Structure 1
Amino acid sequence: MESQLRPVYGFLLSLLTAFLWGVLPVALTLCLKVMDSPTITFYRFLTAGLVVFFILKIRRSLPVAASLTRNGWLLAALATVMLVTNYVTNVMGLNYLSASSAQVLMQIAPFVLMTGGVLLYKESFTKVQFAGAGLLILGLGLFFNQRLPQIFASETESIAGLFIIAGSAVAWAIYALAQKPLLRTLSARQLTLIMYAAGGMLLIPLSTPTELMSMDGLQMAALVFCCLNTLVAYGAFTEAMRVWYASKVSAVLAVQPVFTFISMTLAEKIMPDTFHQPELDSVAYGGALLVVTGSMMAALGKKKPVKVLSGSLSGKS
């Protein structure tokens, strides 16, 4: 049965996801002082997976193997691998690029997702949405007008980071597109549990859990925030994909760099020795306004519902 579309609910969930992902680099920067990327990701998956497991256990709605056919499980495996890849490389990229620099390239992700939603799920844009997408692209260019030249000229930022973050962005878009059909036969929590559990097992040989012992109080608090962020943000994102269009969700997620800029600026004022936020001019601030405006236009433009068939993924008749 086709999921009922709930535009306002989907928009709010998407905006919450954008905010949580936007402020996440602050906590990740603190964690990276003593813990590597795979280990941080392992703890995030472990914590979120346990919480979701107990919620589903109490509600007697744990996923069963019969929920999906072989093709469905292959799609779930693809989504899991891409999600793990995104998590690890996104954190790893912060070792080579500033948070703002990383956000320049991470904007590849929502546009790949937006394009995939149109090509794979037959979602089409109205004229208002096309105009919004145009403003969004223009705004991103203005908002980060100083950053790309600085990346290539900087002694502390590396070209390797550009490739790492670009790969992370593409992996995230593939994950998002792969998981959408699965939400026709699994609940958002059931799907996230599968990916957290499988992803956690993939990360075991790559992580060093004992690094937890080297953390001080602030770094431990940052790790806890990262874990809670994983649970809430990806839960909200998965639910948003279930009740709204992939293209519209991606449009709202484009405001994420604005939240990153604000949070990193505040962090720099509090801990200037740990955080550094590049200065932006008035043109960049104007770009931020265009990003928000364009995102809202692309997200809220009316569009006719399109059915997505998923019978080949379901193990139930």
Structure 2
Amino acid sequence: MDENRTIDPSCMDQPPVAIDIILQLDIFGIILYSVLTFMATISMLVYIEECWYIYQKVPAQKKSAIIWVNGAAPVIGTMSCLGMWIPRATMFTDMTSACYFAIVVFKFLVLMIEEVGGDEAFLQRAGKNKLRISTGPCCCCCPCLPHVPITRRSLFLLKLGSFQFALLKVVFTVLSIALWTNGNFEMADMRITGASIWINPGLGVLTIIALWPVAIMFMHLRTTLRSLKIIPKYAMYQLVLVLSQLQSAIINILALRGAIACTPPYSSRARGYLMSQQLLILEMFVITLVTRMLYRRQYDPLPENEPNDENTKIILSAENSDVA
């Protein structure tokens, strides 16, 4: 029986072109695609309105960082919508979203520093304190690591750690596209001779290195910036990271292994991409609305220096050891 079973040619073919999708949509498909497209459009309109508010109400030094961070969810949602309608462009839409988020990682670090008042104000407020570097995603299992003094050099290294990802992600994306046009790059090619098996793990390492400085800075400033809702802002930033990177990777791996059934005109892999994009549109729509509420506020100056939890613990432990 298995030998006589035929496989639909579309299950072995490339993703369909946009016109084929439109012609084969049923009533449910029309409603689903219309609702998801509406969500992506509303997300972008909300973001544009938020940019106008930020341009008029926010101090100049914070505008760029806030606009970049706010744009993570609507940009990813819009690119997912484009990939949903044009499946053959999925690689390019995913790379565009990933490049944008790489810049957002660096901009979120800059945003936390600017919320304190900039580099000089941060060094003045926290110059006598120390940074706890035993945090995720690199060293959360190494609590014995020493605390690092806050200096211009350490601040520069933190920024460099995140900036390298924003720069190298764009470089590797351009390289991947160039290799793809030459027939040397394929996302599903896991052979040792394929370019994807070398580029993607390298980008994974760069991602972890870039997330580490952001986590270090957040752990240091979470008490100081609590009144500015930095904890839910950081949670939204992390949620975008998990959904756009980890969730998509899991679905795509399942599709590559054949765990997601082929449904003509979509192959198993193309259907996995489609499911990932449809989920992202819905999730990014919700995150866009939540992010708008978090960032739409009056930007008043911070109060005077406040003790940092981590450094308070260091001081108390030192005093206790002296008494002993």
Q: Fold match, TM over 0.5? A: no
Q: Which entry has the higher C-alpha Rg, 1 or 2?
A: 2
Pick the structure with more helix per residue.
Answer: 1
Higher RCO structure (Cα 8 Å, ≥6 apart): 1
Report the TM-score when normalising by structure 2.
0.29
